[in-house]
Amino acid sequence: MYGERLNTRLSSSDTLLALTGLLSIKMSQLDPLPSDLPFRIISKTIGRGAYASIKKAIPLDAPSPVFAVKLIHKEYAVRHGRISAKQIAMEVSLHSHIGQHPNVIEWFATGEDRIWRWIAMEYAEGGDLFDKIEADVGLEEDIAHLYFQQLISGVSFMHSKGVAHRDLKPENILLSESGILKIADFGMATMFEYKGARKQSSTMCGSPPYIAPEVLHCARQRERRAPSSEQTKYSADLVDIWSCGVILFVLLVGNTPWDEPTPGNWEFKEYVRTSGRSTDPLWQRVPSDALSLLRGMMNIEANKRFSFTQIRQHPWYTRHNPLLNAEGMVIDPIALAAQMLARLRIDLRAAVFQPPPASQPDSAIESDWSSKVLSATQPETPINDALFDWERPAPRTLGSCAISSTQPVARNDAAAVNLTATTPRTTMTTMMTPNSIPSSTASKNKIPYSSALEALADEPTMSQFSAVPGVPLSLTQHARRFRDIVPSYSLTRFFSHVPPALLVQMLRDALHQLNVPLPSTSPNTSFEGDVDHIVTLKIKTVDGRRQSLHGDILVDRYHLVYGNGTSSMQYGGMNVDEEEELPELLEVRFVKIKGDPLEWRRFFKKVAVLCRDGIWNNND
C-alpha cells in the first residue's frame, strides 16, 4: 500500500520540516507551507474543517496515486479552533488504529514540525454523498438501502476496533470515484473499548440534528453545573447507532426529523409522545418496512437501542436490492449514477420563495444552551483566511472542451498526470507544481463557441435545470464509470449569459430577499478585463434547523471565441475571425465551508429560482 511506502520515506528523514521567521497568526495570512514535504501538493483547498484545510498531493517521484493531505496550523487550531494538541494527536492515533476498510477513509501517514501537522489519507474522488441527494426529496429506496448498508459496514468495523466516531453526519460521508461510501473526519472519535474494558464519555460533540439525546442531556447537566454525583455519561458506540438512524431517515426523505432531540423541539416531543409513531408528515414518507428499523436505532433508551446484529437481521436491511449482486456489490455503477443524477432537479418555474425570518446572528444562536455547549467542539473559524484558498474545479465538459474527462494531460515536468474532473481549469494548459498554483486572476480562458455549446448540452450541472427530468442520453452513452455521470465536483452551480455586473446584482438581490446578510463584494471585483475571477460573496447565515451555514459564492468567466483560432470561418453568412470574442459565459459556484450539505443545496435552490432570468439554459 502507498501508506507503507510513504511511511518508509518519512522514517528516513531526520528533519521532516523546516520553517523560518516568527510565528504570526492573522485572519488573512498564515505561515507558508513547508518546502520539503515528502510529497507534492497539486491543488488549492478542496475542503476544510473547523481548523484545517485539505489539499491534493502526489508522491515526489511519481504521478500517482493522488491522495488527500489535511494541513493543520497547530497554534491557529488551538487559538481559533479551540482544540488542544492532545486532541489533534488523538485524531491521528485513532484514525491510524482503525486500519483499512472499503467504507472508511484510509489513513496513510502523518508528520509535524513546530508549526504544522499534516495527515496524508485516501482521497475521496467522488466528493460528498449528500451533495448528490435532492433536499426534501431524498434517494430512491434501493439507493438509500445500498448506502445505508455501506454506512453500517463502515461504522461496525470501527466499533470492532473499539473506536466510535461521535460525529456521524452528511458532512463526513464521502464517495469514492466509483460511488462507494467513505466515512471521514475522526476529529471527534474516541476509544470506547480497549482489551475488553469499556469507557463512557461525557464530551459534548456532534451536530444537533444528528446527535443522540443522551449527549445533550450530559451537556445540559454540565451547563447547569450539576453535582458530580448527579452527572451522567453516555456510551459512544450507542450514540453512533442513533446517528446512523438519523442519516437513514435523511437518505429516504431528504430532511432531518428534527432540529435537535430536546423536549423543547416539537417534532422530537411528538416522536417521544407517540413512541416513535410520529404524525409528522416527514415520517409518513418513510417506507413502512423501514419504520421499525428507525425506531429500533433511535430508541430513546440507549441500552435498548438496536445492536449491529439486530440491524443486519431486520427485514428492511435484508430486503432484495436489484442494484446489488449476491456479494453485495453494485451491479451497474453507471445505472446507479444515472438514477442519482435524475433525482436532482430545480424547477425554475416555481413560485418565488417567501422571505423566511431574518437570519439569526451567531450571538443569538449561541444564546441557546445547546448551541453554546456545541461551540466547544464545533468551533466557528474565521472564513476570510488565506489558508482556505479554494480550488477551482472545472466542469468536466466545459473546462476541457476538447479534452475528455479521462484524457491524460502532460505535466510541465518529466511526469504525466491523468487529470480528472477536479482539475482546475487553468491547469488544462499549465499543470501545477508546488510553486505554481494557479491564481484566481489568471489570464483569459478562451473556449471555442461551438465547443462550449456542445459541452453545456452534456454538462451534468445543466440537467438539474432541465424542464424534463432525466439524464442527457449522451452522458449515459459515453459513460464508462460512475463519475462520468455524477461528477466529483459540487452541483451547486449554474452558468449565466448576462453581463457580470447585472449577475452580481441579481445575486445580491436574491440574498436580500432571503434575508441573508448582504456581504460586501471582495476588493478584487472585476467586471471587465482579462481576469477570470469576477467576485467572491461571503455567506454567513443559519439554515432552517438554526445551524450555522457558511460558504462562498464565486463568479468566474469563460471567454467564448469563434472557432479554434486556426482560420477564419463563416457564422450566420459572415466571415469572422476565429479569435473574435462573443459575450462572456459566467459560472456561479456555491462552495460550502461549513454546514449541512442538504441545507446548502436548499439555499442554492432558493437563490437559483430568484436568479432564474440569469441562468443559462440550452435554449439560450
Cα–Cα dist 86/374, whole Å: 19
Q: Catalytic: 167?
A: yes
Phi, psi torsion values for 614, nearest 5 degrees: -105, 5
**551 SS3 class:** strand
The residue type of 545 is R
Is 70 a known ligand-binding residue? yes
Helix (H) or strand (E) holding 456: helix 449-458
Cβ distance 132 to 486 under 8 Å?
yes
Cα–Cα dist 243/173, whole Å: 12
In 3D space, the residue among 198, 88, 211, 106 whose CA is nearest the CA of residue 157 turns out to be: 106
Phi, psi torsion values for 192, nearest 5 degrees: -95, -15
Cβ distance 252 to 288 under 8 Å?
no
**589 SS3 class:** strand
Catalytic option among 128, 167, 240, 259:
167
Phi, psi torsion values for 601, nearest 5 degrees: -65, -40
SS (H, E, C) 163-213: EECCCCCHHHEEECCCCCEEECCCCCCEECEECCEECCECCCCCCHHHCCH
Q: Which three cell numbers, joined as nine digits, stand for 374? A: 456545541
**560 SS3 class:** strand
Cα–Cα dist 252/112, whole Å: 42
Strands 409-410 and 416-417: antiparallel
Residue with cell 456545541: 374
Neighbours of 351 (CB within 10 A): 7
Residue with cell 485539505: 54
Cα–Cα dist 610/68, whole Å: 36
Cβ distance 120 to 95 under 8 Å?
no
3-state helix, strand, coil in the chain (%, to 5): 35, 20, 50
**Could you tell me the sign of the dihedral formed by the alpha carbons of 469, 474, 476, 479, in that order?**
negative
Neighbours of 446 (CB within 10 A): 14
Cα–Cα dist 500/507, whole Å: 11
Sequence-distant (6+) residues with CB within 8 A of 304 are none
- Active-site residues, by number, are 167
Annotated binding site for ATP: 70
